[in-house]
Amino acid sequence: MSDRFRELIAERRVAPSILSADFAKLGAQIDEVMDAGARVIHVDVMDGHFVPPITIGPLVAAAVADLVHAKGGAIDVHMMIEAPERQIEEFAKAGADSITFHAEATPHANRTLAAIRDLGCCAGIAINPGTPVEAVAELRNLADLVLCMTVNPGWGGQSFIPSSPDKVERLRPLVGTAVIEVDGGIDTETAGPIAGAGASLLVAGSAVFGTDDPAAAYQAIAKAADAT
Ligand code: DX5
Ligand code: ZN
């Protein structure tokens, strides 16, 4: 699982987030963006505690993983949940290629990153806009991904926080070999500046699935980011 993901994120990529997809035709919408070139599909897991909404659990993640793997892609699971260490095994079993949890959600980040790798997945640590970049400094050798939120987590369709490129630049020297991921408010306007600051995995939800033509929207954002 993690090898496929590592290979994919060696190049700059835009990862469509299914949070903004039409769940009644999820399979068709995933096919559409993958046929347009997307290879990393972002899956947002929310528990109604760490953030107010409740979204996707392991059952839906497993269905999505089957579809995405069949087309040579990978699923990037973003857990916005309390006590993430209790859920990682279920998401690994569901076929997650990477599992990212929030630094703010557990006092056991070091142990949880190691446990995710032990389960055969790439491990990611996320930080909210209000969390300083130094929060990840001690974890650099344990994380494959560092996810810098560019909106406050919980909802699609919010505006990109303008200070985010500056934050990504300050994050860059602290992450070692981990890839910097950004999530929230990514579109054709914001993709270029945030990629230029050092982000190489760019999540885009409403700017892809909130449009009439998700395939064309995906390609326009990938072009703006100079992504594969
Ligand atoms: C928000 C989620 C995002 C969401 C981004 O908390 O983590 O992945 O889908 O949506 P947009 O791209 O619409 O900001
Ligand atoms: Zn997300």
Q: Is 35 a catalytic residue?
A: no
* Residue-level pLDDT at 2: 78
The beta-strand segments (E) located in the chain are 13-16, 40-46, 74-80, 98-102, 122-127, 145-149, 179-183, 201-204
- Residue 156 CA: which ligand is closest? 1
* Residue-level pLDDT at 175: 97
Q: Is 44 a catalytic residue?
A: yes
Q: How confident is the model over 146-193, as pLDDT tens digits?
A: 999 999 999 999 999 999 999 999 999 999 999 999 999 999 999 999
For the segment 185-210, the average pLDDT, to the nearest whole number, is 98
Which amino acid type is present at position 137? A
Question: Per CATH, is 2-224 categorized as 3.40.50.720?
Answer: no
Give yes or no for residue 3 having a pLDDT over 90: no
Q: How confident is the model over 21-73, as pLDDT tens digits?
A: 999 999 999 999 999 999 999 999 999 999 999 999 999 999 999 999 999 99
Tokens 């914001």 identify what position? Answer: 190
Q: How confident is the model over 67-89, as pLDDT tens digits?
A: 999 999 999 999 999 999 999 99
Tokens 């096919």 identify what position? Answer: 31
Q: How confident is the model over 100-135, as pLDDT tens digits?
A: 999 999 999 999 999 999 999 999 999 999 999 999
Tokens 């409403």 identify what position? Answer: 206
45: which residues sit within 8 A by CB, 6+ positions away? 55, 56, 57, 61, 77, 78, 79, 80, 81, 87, 91
**3-state SS class at 168:** helix
Residue having the nearest C-alpha atom to atom 10 of ligand 1: 156
DSSP for 49-106? SSSS-B---HHHHHHHHHHHHHTT-EEEEEEE-SSGGGTHHHHHHTT-SEEEEEGGG-
Q: Is the Cβ–Cβ distance between 202 and 194 less than 8 Å?
A: yes
Nearest of 170, 223, 225 to residue 202 by alpha carbon: 225
Residue having the nearest C-alpha atom to atom 4 of ligand 1: 156
Other beta carbons less than 10 A from residue 19's beta carbon: 22
Domain ranges of the chain: 2-224
Q: Which residues line ligand 1 (CB under 6 A)?
A: 17, 19-20, 42, 44, 78, 151, 153-158, 183-186, 203-207
Q: Of 3, 44, 97, 187, which one is the catalytic site residue?
A: 44
**3-state SS class at 141:** coil
pTM: 0.98
Q: Is the Cβ–Cβ distance between 85 and 112 less than 8 Å?
A: yes
Which amino acid type is present at position 97? D
